[in-house]
Every structure is written in structure tokens, then in C-alpha cells.
Structure 1
Amino acid sequence: MEHRFVSIALFTALIAALGLVPSFQLMSGVPISMQSLGVMLAGTVLGAKRGAAAVLLLQVLVVIGLPLLAGGRGGPGILAGPSVGFFIGWLPAAYVTGLVVERWRARSLTLVAAVAALLGGIVVMYVFGIIGMAWALERSLPQAALLSLPFIPGDAVKCVLTGLITNAVARARPSYLMSRQ
């Protein structure tokens, strides 16, 4: 039981630490950062429930004011900015990513984790992200969708990295990969 809590805290810290990797903002005001890689990994390694718990813990810490998002952002104001949808979407993204890995029993964990990251970390997250950008920037959904297009190539690379890293974790520490248990 204690191992589960430690794993959740560890992945919360990983997502926060990935916010320290330099990010940059596009015209939409939404930063391109490595934190979504941490969200994807939380799902593929910890599984749906624990991965979502790690993200939820980070979200609570951010909303209460800790500067754990890319660029040192934090506080309730994050809920009014153009990245609000992506921030909120992290939770269902981690859950869906983990659920796909838990349920899809293919030979290649690398492929399963990469596809899971694509479904959760791009499809699900972008649904929330586009809606949030449309609301915060007072744009139509198609306009917000166009603003999110520049993020897709980098997020696709993160999906591949998620597959490779998840497989490496499974080989190095098979007992740690909770999403497959």
C-alpha cells in the first residue's frame, strides 16, 4: 500500500520537474512544455487510477499556489488562462492512457504505450485543451483547434518517447509497471 502512495508522489514530482525544462509560448499563450510527457508516463506506468491520482495531486498543488507548471506558473489564475483546458485535460488524459495500457494486451508494450499516449495524451487532452482555449480566448472551436495544431508534432514525439520509456521501465523493473498488473 505504501509503495502505491510513493509511486503517486514520485510521478507528481516527475510532472512538476518536467516543468523545469525550458518551455516557450506560441501565439495562443499556451506553453509548449515537457509536462504532458509526465502525464502520459503516469498513465502508462502507474495505470489509470494511480496515474490520474498523481495528476490530481499536482493539479491541487498548482491551484493552491505552488509554481509547479512550466515557467513557474501556479495559483487559481491558471483556471482562467488559455491553457486551462489542457491543465484540466491532464486528469482524463492520464486515466485514459493508463486504461488503454491496462486493457490492451499486445506483445509490444512499446506500441501499446505509444498508442495509449496518443489516445489519452493527444486525443483526450486536445478535446479539453481546444474547448479551454476557445473559452479563454473567446474564439470558435475551429479557431482554437487551428491554434492547437503546432503542438501536435511535439506531442507525437512524446507519444513515441512514452512507449520507449514505458518499455524500458518494464524491462528494468517489471514489478514497478503497475498499469500491467
Structure 2
Amino acid sequence: MNTSSRQIATVSLFAALIAVFGLIPKIDLPLGVPITLQTLGVMLAGALLRPRLAFLSVALLLAAVALGMPLLSGGRGGPAVFFAPSAGYLIGWPLGAWVTALVMQALPTATPRRAAVSAFCAAVVGGLLMVHACGVLGLMLIAQLPAAKALLGTLLFVPGDLIKAVVTAGVVHTVARGLPDWQLGRREH
């Protein structure tokens, strides 16, 4: 399989993985933003792929959602989801995957243990901080919440997202041990 075919398959696979995480029932919060497992897929894409592919995998999922496919947790899809209070988080997903991958490139991944620690740090920076920064902006713009309330509201998600970062680290540790040739975000030589 040539490189471009492999990249298309990889992007599609990670988009599908994030969609599958959407099958896990969401937990609705009064804030208008549900707790879902899909941010784990965003973190995994960033931790396991190079920045461009990580971004593209999440962007592909969101393009399918925008076209009406019910791939978000709870069977949501269509353009309306990009005008809901959770829109900032959705916009933050591809950026979060990209930032996670950039951080993975900058951190050591020579051993499975180092790769796991790097994946945790990268997932926190990209999958938590970046996604939540976009989410807070979305809450302020779309839900018209004051900055303090939007920030306080997003703190509800932090414990779960820290657990997702730990799971990401565990998956990366397993991949680094089982597939030592996997690039883990490193640039191609």
C-alpha cells in the first residue's frame, strides 16, 4: 500500500474510532454540553498520529457530522450541532488533536514508558486545555455565558478528561511495546 493510501486509511480509521466512541451513551449536563467518550478518540488521534493526520481524522468526522450523519454521542448530527452550546468543543476537537500531536513530536518517545508519559502530557495540553479553551469561547459566544461561568462550567469535564488522558497513555504504552515501529507522532525520516 502506498503512503497516500495508507494515510487515507489511517485518517478514516481514527475518524471511525471517534464515531464508535459516540455509541457510548452521553451524560447530559444542564450546561448544554454532554460528557462523552469521544474526546478520548481525539486524544488518541493526537497521541498516535502526526499532526496533519490527527487534525484530518477529526476534521473528517466533523465533516460527516455537518453533512447530517448522526456520529456524535446520542446520535446527534447535522449543521445544528455547530450552533449549540457544545459547538466550541467540537471546533476544538481537530485543534486539540493537532496540538496533542505537536506536543508528542516534541517529547521523548524512545521507550514505552517515556511514550506513555509523553502521551499523558500531550493529551492534557491538546485534548484537555486546547479543547476546553475552545469550549469556553463557544459557551461565551453561543450560550452567552459570562467568562467566569463558562470557565466554571467546563471544570466539570476536567476529572473525566484526566482519566481519558491516563487511558491514552496506557494505549500509547501498549502500542509502543507491541508495535515499536509506530511513529508516535514523530516526523518521517
Does the Cα contact within 8 Å between 1:169 and 1:177 map onto a contact in 2?
no
Q: Is 1:19 paired with 2:41?
A: no
Could you tell me which residue of structure 2 aligns to residue 121 of structure 1? 127
Letter in 1 for 2:52: K
Could you tell me which residue of structure 2 aligns to residue 61 of structure 1? 64
Could you tell me which residue of structure 2 aligns to residue 76 of structure 1? 79
| Gaps in structure 2 of 5+ consecutive residues | none
Which has the larger displacement, 20-29 or 167-176? 167-176
Which has the larger displacement, 74-83 or 100-109? 100-109
Q: Secondary structure at the match of 2:25?
A: coil
Does the Cα contact within 8 Å between 2:136 and 2:147 map onto a contact in 1?
yes
Could you tell me which residue of structure 1 aligns to residue 101 of structure 2? 98
Following superposition, the deviation at residue 147 of structure 1 comes to 1.0
The count of residues paired between Structure 1 and Structure 2 equals: 181
Could you tell me which residue of structure 2 aligns to residue 132 of structure 1? 138
Could you tell me which residue of structure 1 aligns to residue 151 of structure 2? 145
After superposition, the C-alpha distances for 1:109-159 in whole angstroms (9 at most, x for unaligned) are 110000000000111111100010112211111111111111100000001
Following superposition, the deviation at residue 177 of structure 1 comes to 3.7
Does the Cα contact within 8 Å between 2:104 and 2:184 map onto a contact in 1?
no
Does the Cα contact within 8 Å between 1:43 and 1:51 map onto a contact in 2?
yes
Scaled by the length of structure 2, the TM-score of the pair is 0.92
* Structure 2: distance between partners of 1:56 and 1:123: 19
Aligned counterpart for 1:35 among listed residues 29, 35, 38: 38
* Structure 2: distance between partners of 1:129 and 1:77: 16
Letter in 1 for 2:178: A
* Structure 2: distance between partners of 1:143 and 1:55: 28
Structure having the higher helix fraction is 1
* Structure 1: distance between partners of 2:87 and 2:98: 18
Identity of aligned residues (%): 39
Runs of 4+ in 1 over 4 A off after TM superposition: none
Scaled by the length of structure 1, the TM-score of the pair is 0.96
Following superposition, the deviation at residue 66 of structure 1 comes to 0.4
CA RMSD of aligned residues (A): 1.2
